[in-house]
């Protein structure tokens, strides 16, 4: 594993660090917006008082704190493996390139001691999972790994009520920033319940700290709704998602290929609007995540 010097120093001094994933770069957005977004997200983390650590695998070496050149490379390169927990040993042993999903990024963050991780939307229970059994590994990782994940809910392509039920079974605390309902990725309207709506990053850090003191295993999911001015109307995006899901089934696209296909198709069908919303929500999450990491590090120093 290679940990960037700045990240290493910050961790050693108990300063705030925010982990970022690389699947969103290689599989979640088209080039060059993917690279621009990844760099903008890092910049947002810095502006809000924390050190960013984008995580990816280069020639089998896990890199924590990718350089801008490495991020550019990930954004352009074709055929990078999408790495969830089960793929990690293979990509490392075979010295391959790998983009880490929420699942693998959480595992690596935990290995190096990063408590907060920011992404766009987590994976979850897919629509029709009662037939396909397609449930993202992200949800099991949230149940097992002690990292707080800041996101705008689960991706719109999923079955949100089933995803929330699964999170409850896994014992994942679901917190929401200034909203009583679970974030709905591209749009505002939602009916999913959350466990608690907090009003400040400091209040959220208090809850994370209480969990740590109690010795409770597993992650916390922090839901942050998309900024209102960037939200897409619920009915509009829903009908597009329905169409993309239908096409995915018709074309027999399954397993780990489903999510990248759907995200790409939704960008095409919305004429790029979904991409702008996706970028806005990730940057917004980076602000909140950095602030939570900052307050968490302040509280840990007082212990």
Q: List, by residue number, the catalytic residues.
A: 21, 155
Q: What's the gap between Cα 277 and its chain centre?
A: 15
From 48, 101, 163, 184, residue interacting with ligand PSU (rule: CB under 6 A): 101
Q: Of the two residues 155 and 265, which places its CB atom closer to ligand PSU in the complex?
A: 155
Interface with Mn ion: number of residues (CB under 5 A): 1
CA torsion angle for 221, 226, 227, 228 (degrees, to 10)? Answer: -130
From 3, 4, 24, 280, residue interacting with ligand PSU (rule: CB under 6 A): 24
Grouping H, G, I as helix, E, B as strand and the rest as coil, residue 153 is coil
Stretch that binds Mn ion, among 39-47, 132-140, 145-153, 294-302 (CB under 5 A): 132-140
Site map (CB under 6 A) of ligand PSU, residues 147-186, x = contact: --------x-------------------------------
What lies within 8 Å, CB to CB, of 66 at 6+ separation is 4, 22, 54, 55, 56, 58, 74
- Of ligand PSU, Mn ion, none, which one sits near residue 244, judging by CB under 5 to 8 A according to partner kind? none
Query: Element (H or E) spanning 283, and its range?
Result: helix 273-302
From 44, 136, 173, 297, residue interacting with ligand PSU (rule: CB under 6 A): 136
143: its two tokens: 């149940």
228: its two tokens: 């209102």
Helices of type H across 48-145: 68-76, 88-93, 102-112, 129-132, 137-144
The Cβ of residue 245 has, within 10 Å, a number of other Cβ atoms equal to: 20
Residue 134 near Mn ion by CB under 5 A: yes
Residues 93, 128 contacting (CB under 8 angstroms): no
Q: Which residue in the shown chain puts its C-beta closest to Mn ion?
A: 134
Stretch that binds ligand PSU, among 3-11, 18-26, 88-96, 291-299 (CB under 6 A): 18-26
Enumerate binding residues for ligand PSU (CB under 6 A): 21, 23-24, 27-28, 101-103, 119-121, 123, 136-138, 155, 256, 259, 263, 278
Enumerate binding residues for Mn ion (CB under 5 A): 134
């Amino acid at each position: 594993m290679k940990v960037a010097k700045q990240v290493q120093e910050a961790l050693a001094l108990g300063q705030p660090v925010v982990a970022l994933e690389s699947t969103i770069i290689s599989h979640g957005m088209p080039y060059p917006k993917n690279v621009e977004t990844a760099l903008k997200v890092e910049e947002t983390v810095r502006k809000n008082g924390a050190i960013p650590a984008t995580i990816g695998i280069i020639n089998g070496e896990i890199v924590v704190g990718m350089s801008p050149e490495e991020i550019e490379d990930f954004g352009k390169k074709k055929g990078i493996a999408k790495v969830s927990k089960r793929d990690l040993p293979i990509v490392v042993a075979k010295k391959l390139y790998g983009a880490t999903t929420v699942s693998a990024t959480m595992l690596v963050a935990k290995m190096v001691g990063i408590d907060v991780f920011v992404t766009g939307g987590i994976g979850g229970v897919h629509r029709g999972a009662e037939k396909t059994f397609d449930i993202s590994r992200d949800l099991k990782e949230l149940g097992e790994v002690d990292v707080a994940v800041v996101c705008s809910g689960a991706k719109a392509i999923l079955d949100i009520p089933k995803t929330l039920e699964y999170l409850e079974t896994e014992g994942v605390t679901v917190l929401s920033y200034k909203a009583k309902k679970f974030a709905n990725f591209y749009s505002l309207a939602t009916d999913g319940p959350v466990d608690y709506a907090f009003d400040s990053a400091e209040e959220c850090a208090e809850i994370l700290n209480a969990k740590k003191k109690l010795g409770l295993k597993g992650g916390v999911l922090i839901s942050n709704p998309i900024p209102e001015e960037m939200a897409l109307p619920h009915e509009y995006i829903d009908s597009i998602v329905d169409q993309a899901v239908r096409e995915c089934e018709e074309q027999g696209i399954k397993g780990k290929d489903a999510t990248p296909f759907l995200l790409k198709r939704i960008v095409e069908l919305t004429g790029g609007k979904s991409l702008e919303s996706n970028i806005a929500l990730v940057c917004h999450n980076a602000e909140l995540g950095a602030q939570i990491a900052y307050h968490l590090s302040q509280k840990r120093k007082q212990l």
